[in-house]
Amino acid sequence: MEQAMRDFFLFLSKNRALTKMAKRYGLRFGAARFVAGETIDLASNVIQSLNAKGLDVTIDYLGEFVDNEAEANEMADQSIEAIKAIGRQNLTAQLSLKMTSMGLDISDDVVLRNMRRILEAATENGVFVTIDMEDYSRCGKTIEIFKQLKSEYDNIGTVIQAYLYRTEQDIADLNAYKPNLRLVKGAYKESPSVAFPEKKDVDENFKKIIRQHLENGNYAAVATHDDAIIDYTKQVVKELGISNDQFEFQMLYGIRTERQEQLVKEGYKMRVYVPYGTDWYGYFMRRLAERPANVAFVLKGMVKK
């Protein structure tokens, strides 16, 4: 039943008609729990409140199904505006973005031009940029573009997904770049030909790549809400004698907020992934797919309305 629900919401997340409708009707039906608002000003208010609790942030201007150059350029403009807001308000925040929103599906020229514009602005404002990983069909291309940009800029990292078979080799290949990587389980529906179908195997691979990346001496952002993975990370860094400034934990805005604050009190760096913007639908559907408890929360909110 849980897997069927997950598949259902992942299917809905790719529906373009529903995406357009969601933009029109705004942040309703519980989405505001996971999305900080539709503008950078609203997102900045959320960042300030999180920073006041000792939480670091990475923000993401949401966007999906970008298939024309004008829209990709606008998405890049919005990311640059977010970077400037971080610098102007002295926020403890980074930027995350999806390559498809920058023109990955249009052409290499478009995505590289937009990424360089963003990274120039990020360098000027002292902001770190993480390239989010998307589905398997775009994984290889994303990594290749990351390698190219990493050879030009220091303030860039990317994401590696534990559920893919290729991931262990990707981390080995990327080691030459001394990358800052966000390590995640993975949130897309993939074929068993490219991804571990069983959760237990994903969890074991997640642990394997956490150790692998830390042993390589590179910065690791362990993005998880799973206490078993959090405890494993604590165990590994203690075993390897790794200081708290070589890694951090990351969680999503609106999920396990008390645990986030607890990790800060324990002396760990804790970064909250804070999305904002009008194109929130696909992101919201994936959050519902991840945890059935999120669906119950949304239904409760709809009844109250």
Active centre residues (catalytic):
132, 182
Pairing of β 181-184 and β 220-223: parallel
Backbone phi, psi, residue 132, to 5°: -65, 150
Strands (E) located in the chain: 56-61, 93-98, 129-132, 156-161, 181-184, 220-223, 247-252, 270-276
**Unique residue bearing structure tokens 């994984």:** 139
Q: Is the dihedral of CA 201, 206, 209, 215 positive or negative?
A: negative
Cα 97 to Cα 256: distance, rounded to the nearest angstrom:
23
Neighbours of 1 (CB within 10 A): 6
Query: 2: helix, coil or strand?
Result: helix
Cβ-contact 205, 163 below 8 angstroms: yes
Nearest alpha carbon to residue 169 among 145, 140, 202? 140
Concatenated DSSP letters for 188-241? Answer: S---TTTB--SHHHHHHHHHHHHHHHHHTT--EEEE---HHHHHHHHHHHHHHT
- Which amino acid appears at position 260 of this protein? Q
Cα 40 to Cα 139: distance, rounded to the nearest angstrom:
28
Cα 78 to Cα 61: distance, rounded to the nearest angstrom:
7
